[in-house]
Chain A
Amino acid sequence: MTSAGGELLVLALLLPVAGVLLAFLLGGRWAARITLLALALGLVLTGLLGVRLFASAAPLTYALGGWAPPLGILLRFDGLSLALLATAMVVLSAIALYARAEFAVPAGARETRASFVFWTLLLGVWAGLTVVVLASDLFTLYVALELLTFAAVPLVSLEGRADTLRAALRYLLYALAGSVLYLVGCALLFGAYGTLDIGLLAQRAQADPATLLACALMTAGLLAKTALFPLHIWLPPAHAGAPAAASALLSALVVKGSFFIVLRLWLEALPAVVTPAAAQVPAALGAVAIFFGSAVALRQARLKPMIAYSTVAQLGYLFIMLPLVLGATALGQSTATALAGGMLQLASHATAKAAMFMAAGLIYAGLGHDRVADLGGVARSLPLTVWAFALAGVALIGLPPSGGFLAKWLLVSAALATGQWWWVLALAGGGLLTAAYVARVLMVALSSAGPAPALRAPVARSRQWVVLGLALLSTLLGLLAWVPLAVVPLGAAGAR
Chain B
Amino acid sequence: MTTTTIYGLLGALLVGVGLYGLIVHPRPLRKILSFNVLGSGVFLLFGVVARRGAAAGFGGDPIPQAFVITGMVVAFAATALAVALLLRLAEVGGATELDEPPPAEDRAA
Contact = CB atoms under 8 A, between A and B. Distances in A.
A169 B52 contact: no
A186 B70 CA distance: 13
A40 B28 CA distance: 41
A459 interface: no
15 contacts: A139-B67, A143-B70, A162-B89, A162-B92, A165-B93, A166-B93, A172-B81, A172-B82, A172-B85, A173-B32, A179-B74, A183-B39, A183-B71, A186-B67, A187-B67
A177 B19 CA distance: 8
A105 B78 CA distance: 30
Nearest to A149: B78
Nearest to B99: A166
Nearest to A168: B85
Interface of B: 15, 18-19, 22-23, 28, 31-32, 35, 38-39, 42, 45-46, 48-49, 52-53, 61, 63-64, 67, 70-71, 74-75, 77-78, 81-82, 85-86, 88-89, 92-94, 98, 100
B74 to A, nearest CB: 5
Nearest to B15: A184
Given A162-B93, A165-B93, A187-B42, A170 B88 contact: no
Contact of A176 (B35, B53, B61): B35
B45 A184 contact: yes
Contacts of A188: 45
Q: Is the interface of B mostly helix, strand, loop or mixed?
A: helix
Contact of B78 (A70, A154, A165, A176): A176
Contacts of A143: 70, 74
A169 B28 CA distance: 8
A165 B89 contact: yes
A154 B84 CA distance: 11
Contacts, number: 94
Interface of A: 70-71, 139, 143, 146, 149-150, 153-154, 157, 160-163, 165-166, 168-170, 172-173, 176-177, 179-180, 183-184, 186-188, 190-191, 194
Contacts of A153: 81, 85
A176 B82 contact: yes
A169 B94 CA distance: 15
Contacts of A177: 19, 22-23, 35
A160 B88 contact: yes
B53 A194 contact: yes
Contacts of B35: 173, 176-177, 180
A169 B86 contact: yes
Contacts of A173: 22, 28, 31-32, 35, 82, 98
A157 B63 contact: no
A180 B48 CA distance: 17
Contacts of B77: 146, 150
B10 to A, nearest CB: 14
A187 to B, nearest CB: 4
B93 to A, nearest CB: 3
B90 to A, nearest CB: 9
A169 B85 contact: yes
A180 B42 contact: yes
A166 B22 contact: no
A155 to B, nearest CB: 12
